[in-house]
């Protein structure tokens, strides 16, 4: 019978180390991630300042964080596709395009959230 490692503080620390390693890799190898982080560094505090109430602040800040999360997933898909299929294949291209489309849709979500909230606030 396989031994089951207990979940606890050590597992949480390990998970945090792996997450930090992933963030560092994304920063090192993904120009889009770096650009999106820099946009977040500017817009996140602005969203927390401009938002009226917890819901607006959560939408303004959360929409930005979703873009970063999806960019990480898109980069992971691209890395796996490149590892498995270094030559061009229609399915590989489709997978990469769909990951990019997911990031794009979340960028549209950012524009929609920010636009509607700021229009209501200042319009």
Catalytic residues: 71
**Contact (CB, 8 A) for 66 and 44:** no
d(CA 61, CA 30) in angstroms, rounded, equals 22
- Residues forming the annotated binding site? 15-20, 24-27, 30, 71, 78, 87-89, 96-97, 100, 114-119
Binding residues for ATP: 30, 78, 87-89, 96-97
Evaluate whether 107 touches 67 at the Cβ level (below 8 Å). yes
DSSP assignments along 34-95, one per residue: HHHHHHHHHHHHHHHHH--HHHHHHHHHHHHHHHHHHHHHHHHHHHHHHHH--S--HHHHHH
- Residue 108 and residue 88: Cα distance in Å, rounded? 29
Instruction: Please report, in range form, the residues annotated as the binding site for substrate.
Output: 15-20, 24-27, 71, 100, 114-119
């Amino acid at each position: 019978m396989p031994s089951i490692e207990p979940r606890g503080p050590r597992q949480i620390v390990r998970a945090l180390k792996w997450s930090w390693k992933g963030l560092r890799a994304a920063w090192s190898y993904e120009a889009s991630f770096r650009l999106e982080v820099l946009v977040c560094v500017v817009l996140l505090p602005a969203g927390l300042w401009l938002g009226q109430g917890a819901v607006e602040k959560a939408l303004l800040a959360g929409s930005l964080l979703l873009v970063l999360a999806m960019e990480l997933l898109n980069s992971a898909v691209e890395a796996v596709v490149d590892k498995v299929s270094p030559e061009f294949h229609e399915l590989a291209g489709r997978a990469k395009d769909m990951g990019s489309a997911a990031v794009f849709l979340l960028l549209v979500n950012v524009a929609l959230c920010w636009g509607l909230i700021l229009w209501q606030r200042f319009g």
